[in-house]
Chains A and B, each alone.
Chain A
């Protein structure tokens, strides 16, 4: 980073003067330029690199797409404290996404979109900004349009309860990078679940209106719930080779957590059949690249500047 001198320090500037010297900890820590700096990215013995990469894309896309959705709250939240909290969650997920996409690229470069030879765009950004919707592997719970604050609370609760259970087990992954990402993410997701659980309870027992909105939000997202626990072939293969987790294995734990929150809040599980919207053509799901129409719109916004400058430096 260039040494930017902004003004002559004088005795009025004590609060500020020393801060230009070392701001490494301000935004994101020290290894912000290269997300995997200093990390051994060798694929473990007996693991298919393509499987590992696709598995990382699945977990990375989940985080990236939901982060994009949650960031929509920035400057729109019910109060400043909630604005800051939702941005924190979006930032945590964005950090997870960046590491996971970088890990995917390092494991199997053939899945990274090709750009003109001279392009300086790093691999994780090629994956984020130069893939089309059918190449995204996220669950559809992450992509559906935002809804109100109640629906956002429901989505964070469902998503973080599930992801926390997955990443808690991923701590033991044979892939050192995934294990390290999981160890960090578990702390973040524990907070996300706690935040959402607390607000779920608050809205359930707040006013008539908040309860009505909460129940409506749960109903709206319920069709996307069972998809989280369906095992894709890639997940099965990743689990077998000891680098991934089979989501079916965490279903019982996660359902128990959800039941606990519902019971404390006095909210019933939605009665509607969960399969109303959760399968596309031939039973394909988000993990196969089958998405709702919301994802193309989300990506159109997310990718517009990057795609206009395939040789750009940011």
Chain B
């Protein structure tokens, strides 16, 4: 039963330097069990077409972010994290499709 295993690989953010002289730019995210595999995954997932010369990966949970607005709503959850952790967002089972 899959539902018995609730642990999920943590989320990482991936930054790629497209060529020398440029900044690393955020290109997306992925899951990996640890930093080393995250780096390997990033190579496979985000540089399949030679898009980069250098890769950074960082755990999403390690990023501290500014508030989206001056008036940061109090109810914005985990306000210091750029990327929210999964929160078992409730999706009705009978959502229509197409």
Contact = CB atoms under 8 A, between A and B. Distances in A.
* Touch A–B, Cβ below 8 Å: yes
Interface of A: 25-26, 79, 81, 84-85, 88, 191, 194-195, 198, 202
Nearest to A29: B50
Interface in B1-36: 9, 30-33, 36
B45 interface: yes
Interface residues on B, range: 10 to 19
A81 B36 contact: no
Max chain B C-beta neighbours (<10 A), residue from A79, A191, A195: A79
B50 to A, nearest CB: 7
A81 B31 contact: yes
B62 interface: no
B49 A26 contact: yes
Contact of A85 (B31, B33, B36, B40): B40
A79 B9 CA distance: 10
A88 B50 contact: no
A81 B49 contact: no
Most buried by B among A26, A81, A198, A202: A81
A84 B48 CA distance: 9
Contact of A84 (B32, B33, B45, B49): B45
Nearest to B30: A81
B15 to A, nearest CB: 17
B2 to A, nearest CB: 12
A81 B44 contact: yes
A177 B37 CA distance: 34
B44 A79 contact: no
A85 B44 contact: yes
Given A79-B9, A79-B31, A198 B45 contact: no
Contacts of A84: 41, 44-45, 48
Contact of B32 (A26, A81, A191): A81
A198 B48 contact: no
Given A81-B44, A202-B33, 9 more contacts: A25-B49, A79-B9, A85-B41, A85-B44, A191-B43, A195-B40, A198-B36, A198-B37, A198-B40
B50 A81 contact: no
A16 to B, nearest CB: 16
Nearest to B46: A84
A71 to B, nearest CB: 15
A25 B32 contact: no
Contacts of B45: 81, 84
Nearest to A195: B40
Contacts of B48: 84, 88
A120 B41 CA distance: 39
Nearest to B42: A81
Nearest to A194: B40
A305 to B, nearest CB: 26
7 contacts: A79-B31, A81-B44, A81-B45, A84-B44, A198-B36, A198-B40, A202-B33
Instruction: Please give me the 6 A-B residue pairs with the lowest Cβ-Cβ distance, nearest first.
Output: A81-B41, A85-B44, A84-B44, A88-B44, A84-B45, A81-B30
